[in-house]
Amino acid sequence: MSLRNLHEAQERSRRILLLVLAAMLSVSSFLALAVGPVPIGAGDIWAALWPSEDLSRDAQIVQQIRLPRLILGLCVGAVLGVCGAALQGLFRNPLADPGIIGVSSGAALAAGLVIVTGNTFASGFMEWAGNYALPLGAFAGSMIAIVSIYALSQRAGTTSGASLILAGIAINAMAGAALGYLTFLSSDNQLRQLTFWTLGSLGRITWDSLVPVAVLMTIAVALTLRKAAALNTYLLGEREAGHLGLNVERMKKTLIVLGALGVGSAVAVSGIIGFVGLAAPHIIRLFAGADHRIVLPGSALLGALLVMCADLIARTAAAPAELPIGVLTSALGGPFFLWLLGRYRRELF
């Protein structure tokens, strides 16, 4: 079989995969707008998509509550999927996930610090940053987490799987302890906000708080998608990638900043939603191989799909109560991670 045939067959199956994902995403987007305590018809949904003064009650529900939540779910899912895939590439380890290696909890801790102590210790910053204070704080937290994990897990130019996971455990534990202490310090109102962060939720989003983080998440996803070819080369090994002409140091720094930006903004607005960053890239690789030119966009679509489906279940399973979405993804993702550990045990440890 010629390389051209191999390549073209691969391209075809990839296009089909992306199309299927996009179709599933459209259907679930419609469901996310239609299904809820009040079932809403297609006519009202259509009306709600356009600016208008006199909307029906149902259309207003869609416009003010369900639509921002849908967009948030899409952004958070895409960002977690893409950043998960990119971090796995950066660590050259398929077990990296923002939740498992501590990037999300670093961001959550920083967000917690902003909520509980921001107004007391950094009122100037809070005033200056406005709606961006939380995402900026979470960005700083995830940045510190990624850089320290990276430094801890490198051994002679390669990433050790064991030390990556162990560094993640340590960082999760420390962030958990600090968040626990913050919980202890916080007032009732702050406590409710903190719980929201540790369990994850797409609820209570408003257009005002959505726009800044949606912009940041879109930037993170778009710029990371452009690194696909470089990530492929990088997976050959750091020195090997350098020999092929890749500026390795610059690429690593870019990925660290983009990962922190993406995960930080996602956590700032939706709390910790674990395992999406692990599951999405793996499922894509299972169907389409390891090439990042398919893994990154595929993970964006699948991540968005997973988060939206999880949110749909979270909203409807125990209606009118709402389950925390992070609890749901962890309950499903935990067993998936164990399965992966079994699969990779021999190669990675």
Measured in degrees and rounded to the nearest 5, phi and psi for residue 263 equal: -65, -40
Whether residue 225 contacts residue 297, with contact meaning beta carbons closer than 8 Å, is answered with yes
Residue 153 contacts other proteins per CB under 8 A: no
Report the alpha-carbon distance of residue 284 to residue 307 in Å, rounded. 15
CB of 235 to other proteins, least distance (A): 5
- Pick from 145, 148, 139, 149: which is nearest to 93 by CA? 149
Q: In angstroms, what CA-CA distances link 262 with 119, 136, 245? A: 25, 11, 27
CB of 167 to other proteins, least distance (A): 18
Q: Which residue's CB is nearer to other proteins, number 25 or number 85?
A: 85
The count of residues in the chain is 349
Whether residue 275 contacts residue 332, with contact meaning beta carbons closer than 8 Å, is answered with yes
Considering only the stretches 97-105, 122-130, 180-188, 231-239, report the one whose residues sit in contact with other proteins under the rule CB under 8 A.
231-239
Neighbours of 66 (CB within 10 A): 20
Neighbours of 188 (CB within 10 A): 6
Which of 209, 232, 327, 341 contacts other proteins by CB under 8 A?
232
CB of 3 to other proteins, least distance (A): 5
* Chain centre distance of CA 306: 11
Residue 240 contacts other proteins per CB under 8 A: yes
DSSP 8-state assignment for residue 201? -
Which of 71, 199, 219, 290 contacts other proteins by CB under 8 A?
290
Residue 340 contacts other proteins per CB under 8 A: no
CB of 297 to other proteins, least distance (A): 17
Residue 29 contacts other proteins per CB under 8 A: no
Which of 53, 54, 188, 347 contacts other proteins by CB under 8 A?
347
- Residues 266-285 touching other proteins, rule: CB under 8 A, are 285
CB of 118 to other proteins, least distance (A): 41
Q: Mark 73-102 with x for binding to other proteins (rule: CB under 8 A) and - for no binding.
A: -------------------xxx--------
Whether residue 76 contacts residue 221, with contact meaning beta carbons closer than 8 Å, is answered with no
Beta strand pairing call for 154-155 and 158-159: antiparallel
CB of 346 to other proteins, least distance (A): 11
Q: Mark 174-213 with x for binding to other proteins (rule: CB under 8 A) and - for no binding.
A: ----------------------------------------
Which of 32, 79, 246, 268 contacts other proteins by CB under 8 A?
246
Residue 156 contacts other proteins per CB under 8 A: no
Measured in degrees and rounded to the nearest 5, phi and psi for residue 36 equal: 165, -170
Considering only the stretches 102-110, 176-184, 188-196, 224-232, report the one whose residues sit in contact with other proteins under the rule CB under 8 A.
224-232
Burial bucket for residue 43 (CB in 10 Å: 0-12, 13-18, 19+): exposed
* The pair of three-digit structure tokens given for residue 154, joined into one six-digit string: 């490198």
Torsion sign across C-alpha atoms 206, 212, 215, 217:
negative
CB of 348 to other proteins, least distance (A): 7
Where along the sequence are the contacts to other proteins (CB under 8 A)?
1-4, 6-7, 10, 92-94, 158, 229-230, 232-233, 235-237, 239-240, 242-247, 285, 289-291, 344, 347-348
